[in-house]
Amino acid sequence: MTFLKRMIPVPLLIILLLMLAKGITWALVIPPGQSPDEPAHFSYVQYLGEENRLPVRQEKLESEENTYYSHELVNFLNKINFYKLRNTESKLILTDFERSQLYDSVRDLRSWTGNNYVTGYPPGYYWPVSLMYKVFYDEPIILRFFAARFSSVFMSLFLVIFSYHIARKVIPDSDTFPIVVSLMTGLQPMVSMISSSVNNDVLMMVFSAGLSYWLVTFLTDNRAKQSIPFILLGGVGMGCGLLIKAQLLYVVLFILLIVVLFMYIKSCTVKTILQTFSFLITPAVLIYSWWAIFSFKYYHSLFGVLGFNPIGSTKNGKLVDYLSLIFQKNAFNRIYIIWVKWFWAALGWLNISFESKWIYLTIIGIIFISCIGLLVGLDRWRRFGKLNTSVNIVLLTVFILFVLGNVGFLYVVEFDNYRKTLETMLQGRYLFTSIVPINILLLIGIRFLIKNTYHKHLDILFSLLIIAFNLASLGLILDAYYGVRIL
C-alpha cells in the first residue's frame, strides 16, 4: 500500500483519471481505422486472436482492399466508410439503419493469410491486445475494435506514470514540475491520437519512458546500482522493449552505453562494470532471442521485415547523395514538417493539421527559446558550477544526449533503409521514444531563462497551453470527420 501510495501520489492519481477520460474520449471520437496504419495493426491483433500463432509476411503484398485483411475486417471498413473518409475527406455520416448493422452479430470469415505490411513487426504489443480481443470474441467486430483501442488507452497510463516520476528525479523539490511534464506528455495531440488507437507505438512510448526511468534511477540512486534484481529488471525491460518495435534498439543501446560510461567515470572496477553489463544484457538477449531467430528464419533480419530497400543515386557516394537529396531543396520545410508538424499535430491518415501557421510557429518559438535557455544554463553551470534552479545536471546532460542521439539514429535508419521513400518514412512521431526527455528539456530550457520565483507560473502556463492544444486538436478531428466546427 505504501509502495502504491509512493508510486501514485494524489496529483498523479488525478492526472491518470484525467488521461483515462481523455483517452476514452479520443478513442471514441476518432472514427475506426483512421489513425495511421490502424487497420493493419488491428488485423495483426485479429490474426493472433483467431489463429493463436504469429503471422508471417510474404514477399508480395497485394492491393489493400483485396488481401490485406480478413473478410470480416474488409466488410467492417466498408460499412464505416473507411476508404471514403481516408481518400475523399468526406464526413462520417451514417443512418440509424447503417449504424445498427454494425452491432448486429454476423458470422463472417475471420481467418485469412495474415499478410500485410505490419506483419513483420515483433509481437510484443499485439499479444496483450489480442487477449482483450478474445475477451470480446463473441461480440461484433466494432466492439472488438474498440476493446483493442481501450487496451492502448490503458497502456498509455504507464507512460504518464513514468513521465511523472522521471520529472520528479530531475527536479526533486518542485511539486508542479512533475505535473506539467506528465500533462505535456499525455496531452500532446499526436501522443493522444496514437495512445487512443490500435498501434504498437503506444507500448513503444511506454517502454521508452519505463527504460528511461530505470536509467534515471540507476544514475541517481546508489542502492539501485548495487541491487542485482534492479539491474536484472532493466535487462528484462530491454528484452521486452525490443519485442515491441525495433526503434527501441536505440533506447537499449543508449542505456547500455550510459551505464558503462557512468560506472567508468565513477571509477568502478572493470569486473563490476562487466558484471553489471552481463546482468543487463543476458535477460535482454534471452527474451529477445526467440523473436530474433523467428525473424531471421522468415525475413533474414534480426529486427523483423524492413519494408523497403534503399535505392537512390550513389554516384557521389551513398552519404553525399543522401545528404544532397534531403538538403538540396526545401531543407527547412522538410525539418519543419517532420519535427514540428508531424511530431506535434498532423493527425490521422489525412494529416489533419491546423490551418493557422501561428500555432506551429509558436511551437518553433518555444523550441528555439528553450534551446537558447539550455545553452545558457549549461554555460552557467560550466562557469559557476551551479544553476538558478535545482535541476540534476547529470540527468539533464543525459537527456540532451538521448534526444540528439535519437534524431541522429532516425536519420541513419532512413539513410540505411528508407531512402527510396523519402518524405514518407521518417515521421515526427518516430521520435516519441524521446517524448519525455523532450518535454523535460523544453521546460527546463525556459526555466533557465527566468527567475526562480516564476517557475511555478511557467508550469501553470504550459499546463494551460497543452490543455488548450489538446482540446483544439480534438476540435480539428470533429471538423475533419464529422463536419462540426466549434468556433
Contact positions vs another protein (CB under 8 A): 11, 14-15, 17-18, 20-22, 24-25, 28-29, 31-32, 80, 84, 87-94, 99, 102-103, 142, 146, 173-176, 179-180, 183, 452, 455-457, 459-460, 463-464, 467, 478-479, 481-487
Sign of CA dihedral 269, 273, 279, 282: negative
* Least separation in angstroms between CB 226 and another protein: 31
Say which residues have a Cβ less than 8 Å from residue 487's Cβ, sequence separation at least 6: none
Give the CB-side neighbour count of residue 282, counting CA atoms within 13 A.
10
* Least separation in angstroms between CB 400 and another protein: 23
Whether residue 334 contacts residue 428, with contact meaning beta carbons closer than 8 Å, is answered with no
Given the complex with another protein, which of 161 and 413 has the nearer CB atom? Answer: 161
* Least separation in angstroms between CB 79 and another protein: 8
Given the complex with another protein, which of 51 and 479 has the nearer CB atom? Answer: 479
Per-position DSSP letters for 111-166, written without gaps between them: -----STTTTS-STTHHHHHHHHHHTTTS-HHHHHHHHHHHHHHHHHHHHHHHHHH
- Kindly state the cell numbers that stand for 91: 464526413
- Kindly state the cell numbers that stand for 459: 508550469
How far is 41 from 200, CA to CA, in rounded Å? Answer: 8
- Kindly state the cell numbers that stand for 464: 494551460
How far is 432 from 343, CA to CA, in rounded Å? Answer: 8
* Least separation in angstroms between CB 356 and another protein: 16
* Least separation in angstroms between CB 363 and another protein: 21
Amino acid letter, residue 240: C
* Least separation in angstroms between CB 220 and another protein: 19
* Least separation in angstroms between CB 468 and another protein: 10
Q: How far is CA 477 from CA 197, 238, 470, in A?
A: 14, 35, 11
Residue 331: strand, helix, or coil = helix
Burial of 319 (0-12, 13-18, 19+ CB in 10 A): exposed
- Kindly state the cell numbers that stand for 242: 525490443
How far is 469 from 356, CA to CA, in rounded Å? Answer: 13
Of 223, 194, 415, residue with least CA distance to 325: 415
Given the complex with another protein, which of 105 and 267 has the nearer CB atom? Answer: 105
Whether residue 477 contacts residue 470, with contact meaning beta carbons closer than 8 Å, is answered with no
* Least separation in angstroms between CB 83 and another protein: 10
* Least separation in angstroms between CB 47 and another protein: 23
Whether residue 377 contacts residue 450, with contact meaning beta carbons closer than 8 Å, is answered with no
Strand partners, 440: none
* Least separation in angstroms between CB 98 and another protein: 9
Q: What angle do CA 462, 467, 469 make, to 5 degrees?
A: 95
How far is 342 from 361, CA to CA, in rounded Å? Answer: 14
* Least separation in angstroms between CB 187 and another protein: 9
Given the complex with another protein, which of 198 and 231 has the nearer CB atom? Answer: 198
- Kindly state the cell numbers that stand for 70: 480478413
